[in-house]
Chain A
């Protein structure tokens, strides 16, 4: 798993590549948690290069979203494809999160 971040005007864009599984999910959650502690509140998470996500990854996303909700923040997702899109659909994440085709469309709706 590799995580990169860039700051846009209205949001912090987090690009995560590789695999979020039970081994790497805590690292992903801690990374986002640090960004929140540093004052970031609006996130776009780009998953276009994410190859794999298990329920451990979903759990880390949900924990982050719950924390952001209590801090008046927001988290949106962009670029879902393949197995990651399938896992989000099966788990009902499409009905609880705002999901966009690209960073650009997610930013337009920030």
Chain B
């Protein structure tokens, strides 16, 4: 299905707001609620920031993001990078019961993605990581 919108930029934090705004505008066009759009923005940020920080291990590289709607039922954000293979779904869930001293924040980003999205799909295709964040469109 044709993308509603897509963009490719260097995988740097400087571009976070541009990418989030694109996704947010797409979600608005699909008639998603303000609450759901906020959750989509969080999940998208978490996925992008992981790519900015780790995918290219200090080297330059791009990230590509696109949104599409399928059959008016699901809204899908696809994020592609050509960095090292990384399946965020392989991370263990953080222990959210520890106290302040013991608590580590690593892994919370991916945990938020999984909790906030209706589905998350990862695949490695050649030298690319393809992550899809799936949101059900409620009619």
Contacts and interface: CB of A to CB of B under 8 A. Distances in A.
B46 A82 contact: no
A35 interface: no
Contact of B109 (A51, A52, A55): A55
B38 A62 contact: no
Interface residues of B, number: 28
Given A22-B13, A23-B13, A55-B112, A87 B100 contact: no
A65 B103 CA distance: 11
Contact of A21 (B45, B99, B101, B112): B45
Main secondary structure of the interface of B (DSSP, over half): helix
A56 B46 CA distance: 9
A83 B112 CA distance: 12
Contacts of B41: 52
Contact of A58 (B39, B100, B108, B116): B108
A85 to B, nearest CB: 11
A66 B35 CA distance: 31
Contact of A83 (B13, B42, B46, B108): B42
